[in-house]
Amino acid sequence: MLDRSSGPAPVPQEHGHGGPSIMERFKRMAPPSFKGESQPLLVESWMREIEKIFRAIRCAEEDKVSLATYMLQALSAACRQEGEMEQYLEEKKAA
C-alpha cells in the first residue's frame, strides 16, 4: 500500500534543455497502466514495457522511481474511485 502521508511523488523535470519535461515525454509514449496484477508474469511484462520506455526517452536513473510511482499512484486513485462507486451502488441498491 502506498504511503499517502508523504504526498505525491515529485514530477521529474528536464534538466536545462528547454524541451519537454521527462514526464511529458514519458506520457507521450503511452505507458501501460499497472492494473494491480498479482501474477508474476504480468508484473514482469509491465515492468519490461516501462523499462523500454525509459530507454527510449533516455530516462535518468533518478527519474525512473518518480515516473513509476506516478503510474502506481494513478492506479491507486482509480482503485479508490472504483471502491467508492461500488459502495455508492450498494447503498443505492439497499435504499
Residue with grid cell 534538466, as numbered in its chain? 15
Would 36 be classed as within a structural domain?
Answer: yes
Segments forming the whole domain that contains residue 68: 18-94
Would 10 be classed as within a structural domain?
Answer: no
Would 3 be classed as within a structural domain?
Answer: no
Would 50 be classed as within a structural domain?
Answer: yes
Would 43 be classed as within a structural domain?
Answer: yes
Query: For the chain, how many structural domains are there in total?
Result: 1
Query: Could you report the per-residue pLDDT of 4-57, keeping only the tens digit for each?
Result: 445 554 444 445 567 899 999 999 999 988 777 778 898 889 889 999 999 999
pTM of the entire predicted model: 0.59
Would 11 be classed as within a structural domain?
Answer: no
Would 1 be classed as within a structural domain?
Answer: no
Would 5 be classed as within a structural domain?
Answer: no
Query: Could you report the per-residue pLDDT of 80-90, keeping only the tens digit for each?
Result: 777 776 777 77
Q: What pLDDT was estimated at residue 3?
A: 46
